């Protein structure tokens, strides 16, 4: 596996800036949420706080419920590994409007930078393909960001992107921690009643 690692904050900012306005975003806990929020809070973003392993399953449910909208999960390798079995269901369903973006620094960044399985030999692209997700790619160059955004917009196939990022920790940009307010804002972006 290549040793090239991208700046996480820049990659996320570039990707979010290129996504269609109607994209539904689900962030994993910690850094993915901070990075998406730092790129500019936008309607249709659901920030998970403390639900380790839940970003990809939630995004899958949204993609199945809202086939008219592109859905993107932005998560980290540690959080994603906690719910890796969801890829089996994604591989069985293959919603064409779902994109899973895994920011992989090969560490459990939120719990003390212990090496994650990806730093110990697990190849996430091979894992995704093994679960039946054929459009699985590894991103090691910022120039690949535009191609990924085009795949999101096209909604032609379930896409899985492992993004190799470095371990730098930019200043935290914390999204709102009010769960009810986050839920209501997200429901409103879907045109649903809030309560």
pLDDT digits (tens, 9 = 90+) for 3-53: 679 999 999 999 999 999 999 999 998 899 999 999 999 989 999 887 888
pLDDT digits (tens, 9 = 90+) for 62-91: 999 999 999 999 999 988 998 999 999 999
| Beta strands, E only, 12-60 | 24-27, 45-47
User: Binning pLDDT at 50, 70 and 90, where does residue 170 land?
Assistant: confident
Helix axes 86-93 and 55-65, enclosed angle (nearest 10): 20
What's the pLDDT at 111? 65
User: Binning pLDDT at 50, 70 and 90, where does residue 1 land?
Assistant: very low
Distance, in Å, from the CA atom of 43 to the CA atom of 48, rounded to the nearest integer, reads: 15
Mean pLDDT of the chain: 91
Q: Which of 48-62, 71-85, 111-125 has the lowest mean pLDDT?
A: 111-125
For residues 43 and 189, the answer to whether their CB atoms sit within 8 Å is yes
* pTM score, whole prediction: 0.93
Backbone angles phi, psi at 107, to 5 degrees: -145, 160
User: Which residue in 79, 110, 146, 169 is the catalytic one?
Assistant: 110
Is residue 79 flagged as an active site residue? no
Q: Which of 26-35, 159-168, 176-185 has the lowest mean pLDDT?
A: 176-185
Instruction: Give 56-99 as a DSSP string.
Output: HHHHHHHHHH-TTS-EEEEEEHHHHHHTTTHHHHHHHH--TTEE
């Amino acid at each position: 596996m290549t040793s090239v690692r991208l700046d996480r904050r820049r990659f996320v900012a570039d990707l979010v800036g290129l996504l269609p306005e109607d994209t539904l975003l689900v962030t994993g806990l910690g850094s993915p949420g901070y990075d998406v929020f730092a790129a500019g809070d936008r309607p249709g973003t659901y920030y998970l706080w403390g639900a380790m392993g839940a970003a990809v399953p939630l995004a899958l449910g949204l993609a199945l419920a809202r086939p008219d909208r592109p859905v993107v999960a932005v998560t980290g390798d540690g959080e994603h590994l906690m719910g890796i079995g969801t890829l089996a269901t994604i591989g069985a369903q293959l919603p064409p409007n779902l994109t899973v973006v895994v920011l992989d620094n090969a560490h459990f960044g939120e719990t003390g930078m212990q090496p994650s399985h990806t730093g110990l030999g697990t190849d996430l692209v091979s894992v995704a393909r093994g679960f039946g997700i054929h459009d699985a790619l590894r991103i090691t160059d910022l120039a690949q960001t535009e191609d990924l955004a085009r795949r999101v917009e096209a909604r032609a196939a379930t896409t899985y992107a492992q993004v190799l990022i470095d371990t730098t920790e930019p200043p935290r940009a914390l999204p709102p921690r009010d769960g009810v307010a986050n839920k209501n804002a997200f429901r409103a972006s879907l045109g649903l009643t809030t309560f």
